[in-house]
Amino acid sequence: MEQSVSSKTKATLTLVLCFAIAVFEGFDLQSMGVAAPRMRAEFGLDNTQMAWAFSAAILGTLPGALLGGRFADKIGRKAVLLTSILIFGVMSVLTAYASDYTLLLIIRFLTGLGMGGALPMMITMASEAVSEKHKGIAVSIMYSGIPFGGMLTSFVAMGLAGDAQWRHIFYIGGFAPILLIPLLMKYLPESKDYLTATKNKTSTPFFEVLFAKERRFSTIQIWISFFFTLVVLYFLLNWLPLLMGAQGLGKTEANYVQIGYNIGGIFGSILMGTLLDKIRMSTVIKF
């Protein structure tokens, strides 16, 4: 069946499916921030406890990304992606059943483990699906699914009748990606680079890829810039609804602010991707 499908169709299908995964990851990523005011009241959490609840998933993304990258070279990008989706989907559902604060932290850490493993696979598969001159826009369109999913989280939150229904956010954010897995198993192609490497039985050592003399300094620079960018991003995603509430805005108004933030993220992501295909990457990063 794969041989009868044109390269263009396979590329489009890969981007659509990766975009859908990004939507669900973005939904779950912002679900804690949107549900935070309701969870805070129910669990009786202070600001320090809320900070740890927000940070647990973020801390999980680091080992998730590292483990996902290592296993992807052994069992394939697709297998790691499917496993990661299953993990963060199940853990999102279990967030709604957390009965105490400690259990909530553990579940959110494991949620981050799945999200951390999925994101690098989505970026890799989206970039490999298109030609070299379209990689930037392909990845940016896929990545725009994350703020799009965050926007959907706010719409779902506004549709909930009462504060006690905050758990429904996690039901939707968990079951939706799980239901997507059968479609991914059938229609998502395996990474071309992985198939080529497996066929030729070639593999470059992990540390040589990242820390070879000609790219060592670039790797460190990218890590540092990415770290601080994510710190700011996750701070806004998680704390924005609470900060808006502290300024006297109602829940609906706070959700509209969150929606506006995510709309800006969608346009910004696509704009940066377009620029990446037209001018030097270093110039775009500085911009």
pLDDT(2) > 50: no
DSSP readout, 222-281?
A: HHHHHHHHHHHHHHHHHHHHHHHHHTT--HHHHHHHHHHHHHHHHHHHHHHHHHHTTS-H
Q: What's the rounded Cα separation, in Å, for the pair 78 and 178? A: 15
* Between 85 and 235, the higher pLDDT residue: 85
pLDDT(1) > 50: no
Q: What would the two tokens of residue 1 be? A: 């069946």
Query: How large is the average pLDDT for residues 231-253?
Result: 76
Q: Tell me: the pLDDT tens digits for 137-185? A: 888 989 899 899 988 988 888 877 555 677 888 999 999 999 999 999 9
Q: Tell me: the pLDDT tens digits for 212-230? A: 667 777 778 777 777 777 7
CB 274 within 8 A of CB 134: no
The pLDDT assigned to 89 comes to 94
CB 89 within 8 A of CB 177: yes
Task: Grade residue 248 by pLDDT with cuts at 50, 70 and 90.
Answer: confident
What is the domain partition of the chain in residue ranges?
2-286
The pLDDT assigned to 240 comes to 76
The pLDDT assigned to 4 comes to 42
Query: How large is the average pLDDT for residues 244-250?
Result: 78
Of 152, 164, 129, 161, which Cα lies nearest the Cα of 266? Answer: 152
Q: Tell me: the pLDDT tens digits for 14-34? A: 899 999 999 998 898 888 878
Query: At the topology level of CATH, where does 2-286 sit?
Result: Growth Hormone; Chain: A; (1.20.1250)
Q: Tell me: the pLDDT tens digits for 106-147? A: 999 999 899 888 988 898 888 888 887 888 888 898 989 989
Q: What's the rounded Cα separation, in Å, for the pair 221 and 180? A: 36
Q: Tell me: the pLDDT tens digits for 258-276? A: 888 889 989 988 888 888 7
